Structure formats: structure tokens, C-alpha cells
Amino acid sequence: DDPPEPDIGTASCEVKEVFAELEQLVGLTKVKAVMKELYSLVEFSKIREGLLLPPISEQSFHMKFVGNPGTGKTVVARL
């Protein structure tokens, strides 16, 4: 089964716009899923921080996009 979709209902307008732009891209199903997972992880980390709980891990959000020319790497990176 697929994991539940993250709730972006409480997200800022900017975050909603980025997800809307991402959804308009053709294909890139895995990229879209990973971006949603990352968003959920960041939101979960903020909740834990607000409750004064220790972080689960020291996560770095740097990414490296690799692939053939014309596959949308730059478009996704700019989002």
C-alpha cells in the first residue's frame, strides 16, 4: 500500500504553490513522492522540536539530481 498523502492544508501559500507546480509536471512520480515524504519529515521534526523532544536524526536536506538531459532535473531543483 502507498503511504498516506501528507496534509499540506496547513502549509504556507508558498509551499502549496510549489506542490501545485510539482504536480503539474508530467511523470516524475518517484520525485513527487520523495518531495512529499521530505515535507512530512520536516513538519514532523518541527512538531518534535516544539514539544522539546530530541531530533530523530541529524538529517541533511542536500540533494543531487542526476540523469539524462531533458528529464526535468533543473526544473525540480528550482522548485
The reported pLDDT for the residue numbered 51 is 94
| CA Rg value for the chain | 14
Per-residue confidence at 57, pLDDT binned at 50, 70, 90? confident
Question: Which residue pairs from 29-34 have beta carbons closer than 8 angstroms and sit at least 24 positions apart in sequence?
Answer: 31/72, 31/76
Answer whether 42's CB lies under 8 Å from 35's CB: no
Q: How far apart are CA 53 and CA 28, in angstroms?
A: 35
Q: What is the mean pLDDT of residues 21-25?
A: 92
Q: Is the pTM of this model over 0.85?
A: no
DSSP state of 56: S
Other CB atoms within 10 Å distance of the CB of residue 38: 14
Instruction: Map residue 58 onto helix, strand or coil.
Output: coil
pLDDT at 1: 59
